[in-house]
A = this chain, B = another copy of it.
Amino acid sequence: MRILEDELIERIRRRIPSSEGGALRLGIGHDAALIHAQGWDWVVTCDQFLEGAHFLADKHPPQSVGYKALIRAASDVVAMAARPRFFLLSLALPAERTGAWLNQMLSGMARASKSLGLRLAGGDTARSAGDGARIALNVMVLGEARRGDGIGRAGARPDDGIYVTGILGRAQLGLELILREMSGQRSYRKLLAPHYYPTLSLDFALWLGRHYLPSAMMDISDGLSTDLRRLCRASGVGARIYADQLPLVAVPGSLQGIPELDPLTLALHGGEDYGLLFTAPMRRVSRIPNIFGRTRITRIGEIVRGSGVKIVAAGGKVSSLIPSGWDHFAKR
């Protein structure tokens, strides 16, 4: 539904009262909603994690499913420079998944919740019935930010620097190995972790918010080409990025030559890295570190007037970057 999503959201927005204003500072179209409370802002988001669309029950370990379902939703809160505090879990399960599968899924989810200091506050369970019944997880995360610390995706301005955290394309490389049935090979096993158990840069995101450094921020969940375009659209600007500045995934020599495993392709279009994508005004650029704890920060380009994202190749050739990020498993 990736292609349809923007149109769908527009239809929903037109029909259901959803205007920003009053306590609702940021609503639809941001990673999470931002709600003013007394002195604090609450940041809420929900994300589905569906069998067949977001994971494959016969290929993904249940621990990874539970871990990622929570990380994915929490990432939207973290990307607004808010601290995830509580979550709700809605589960729809076919009967045959309520035993060992569920236990393992929950242990993966517990790992994610502990790593972020998140507490489960409630939820809902239902049976997923009928032929072809599938597993559906829905996670709602509630986070908090000091008033004014939360960061949306609409504030980027021309000349702002564009930054990403971490390495781009690592999660997609893992997924490609799994889909190619190569995940069992011992030498590739360590390449799977970024796909199974991605980590969030919570401390860095909070630090950025506390120092009011980013003009806009979001997470890279669907791939840089897709997510950077979203940031630009929300901000009413364009972007130029440089291929030779991207922090590319390292692809082992034995896998080189496979087009989908080209490091630049993986970095531009690969999803689920859950790194941060943010922009910073020129006057604050000197305060952005290259490394923060274990988080690597890389400047990859700058915001420009206009619209659309251009990529400058190593040789200087400029071309439009077509958003072709993660469409779940739609095209497979």
Contacts and interface: CB of A to CB of B under 8 A. Distances in A.
Interface of A: 1, 4-5, 8-9, 11-13, 15-19, 23-24, 27-28, 30, 32-33, 35, 37-40, 42, 44-48, 50, 52-54, 85-86, 88-93, 98, 102-103, 106-107, 109-110, 113-114, 118-134, 136, 138, 140, 142, 328-330
A134 B94 CA distance: 13
A219 to B, nearest CB: 14
Contact of A120 (B28, B86, B98): B28
Contact of A92 (B9, B50, B89, B142): B50
Contact of A113 (B17, B120, B142): B17
Given A17-B118, A24-B121, A53-B92, 8 more contacts: A1-B127, A11-B102, A12-B91, A33-B88, A44-B121, A129-B330, A138-B138, A142-B142
18 contacts: A1-B93, A1-B126, A1-B127, A4-B127, A11-B103, A15-B107, A23-B85, A27-B119, A28-B123, A30-B122, A33-B121, A38-B39, A42-B142, A92-B136, A127-B328, A136-B136, A138-B138, A142-B142
B15 A103 contact: yes
B110 A48 contact: no
A216 to B, nearest CB: 17
Nearest to A51: B130
A289 B284 CA distance: 62
Contacts of A53: 92, 126-129
Contacts of A24: 86, 119, 121
Which of A19, A38, A44 has most B Cβ within 10 Å?
Answer: A44
Contact of A45 (B9, B109, B122, B138): B122
Nearest to A15: B106
Contact of A129 (B5, B32, B52, B140): B52
